Amino acid sequence: MNTETTSFVSGLPIASVERETGLSKDTLRVWERRYGFPTPGRDANGERLYAPTQVQRLTQIKRLMDRGYRPGKLLALDDAALIALDEARPSVLATPDVLQLDTWMHLVKTHDSEALQRQFYRELAKRGLAGFVQDIVAPLITRVGEAWSRNELGIFEEHLFSQHLEKMFRTVLANMQPQHGNPRVLLTTLSGEEHTLGLLMVEALMVVEGVYPVLLGPQTPIDEILRAAQLKQVDAVCLSFSSAYSPTLAAQGMRDLRQMLPAGIELWAGGYGVKAIRKPIDGVCLMPEFQDLYDCLEKWRTEHGRNPV
């Protein structure tokens, strides 16, 4: 019975578009009503069918929204203007190694897995873990994120890059298994923050410094963080926020958690997401830069008079 309807009024149903673009069905319908875009066709039953080109444009719009533009503006623009926005590159990196980063970016763009992996380990051996993370990995992650939002890089390259990093960190960590160590730190993210890489980076840096980490993975509800902290008897909880996480939500979440957490357990927070938090939060140690992590650690150790091991 499904003879040629598909080939005639072709296009993706709304559920597929939701999956592809990350825009909810409600949003897609309300945009159509308010802004006159997208303009899906209809199948025999009156259900929306989105043309692939429109889906592509929707993902482009979504990407620009993640960069801070608002839908009202974007949906009024034509193709040329959208592409112009894509090209606009506002950022300049503070790193001196811009040139070297370009070499790395080339490996990412050409998805040369083997070379990338080789380079990772070479640079790691050369700089040591801390230097490698600060000078290479962190700037590189930023660059990749920017390149993606500028459409120079596909999601595929970004995913592959993340997987290689994750593989490397987990291998390195597996070879550093600590049995003991102080302080004991619980590592996780709040619900809504899916990024694991930040946690792995922090864990690696901490293990080098003699910390005993408890990696919980991403997206733990606040009351479960509390329970975990008590059962695992940790000295501190460390959260990680990517730049995508709303600063307001992050601050609110930390206040909530701080209130429930016993005074004896410290609360630390790192990642690009905390750079956007201006006001300090009572009883929370914000670590926008890597250096702050070491400061936090040292402070804890002098206060508790304990050596790394």
Partner DNA sequence: TTCATTTATTGTCCAGGACAAAGTGTTGAC
Partner DNA sequence: GTCAACACTTTGTCCTGGACAATAAATGAA
By CB under 7 A, residue 58 contacts DNA: no
Cis peptide, bond prior to residue 38, ω within 30 of zero:
yes
Residue 181 interacts with, from DNA, a copy of itself, none (CB under 5-8 Å by kind): none
Please answer whether residues 199 and 240 qualify as being in contact, where contact means their C-beta atoms are separated by less than 8 angstroms: yes
Cβ at position 93, least distance to a copy of itself in Å = 25
The contact pattern for DNA, residues 273-292, with x = CB under 7 A and - = no contact, is -----xx-------------
| Type of residue found at 303 | E
Q: Show Cβ contacts of residue 145 under 8 Å, excluding neighbours closer than 6 positions.
A: 158, 243
- Helices 98-109 and 155-174, interaxial angle, to 10°? 110
Q: Judged by CB, which is closer to DNA: 18, or 146? A: 18
* Using rule CB under 7 A, residue 73 touches DNA: yes
At 153, give phi and psi (nearest 5°): -135, 140
Does the protein bind DNA through residue 248 (CB under 7 A)?
yes
Place of tokens 């402070």: 299
Q: What angle do CA 103, 198, 66 make, to 5 degrees?
A: 80
In what helix (H) or strand (E) does residue 268 lie, and over which residues does it extend?
strand 266-270
Local structure of residue 136 (DSSP, 8 states): I
Contact mark string toward DNA, 8..47, x via CB under 7 A: -----xxx--------xxxx-xxx-xx---------xxxx
The option from a copy of itself, DNA, none interacting with 304 (CB < 5 to 8 A, set by class) reads none
How far, in Å, CA of 244 to CA of 242, rounded? 5
Our CB check for DNA shows the closer of 27 and 119 to be 27
Which amino acid, residue 39? T
Nearer of residues 116 and 251 to DNA, judged by Cβ: 251
The residues that touch a copy of itself, with contacts defined as CB under 8 A, are: 12-13, 15-16, 19-20, 22, 56, 59, 111, 113, 154-156, 159-160, 162-163, 166-167, 170-171, 173-174, 188, 190-192, 194, 214-217, 220-225, 227-228, 231-232, 248-249, 252-253, 256
Contact set with DNA (CB under 7 A):
13-15, 24-27, 29-31, 33-34, 44-48, 65, 70-73, 246, 248-249, 251, 278-279
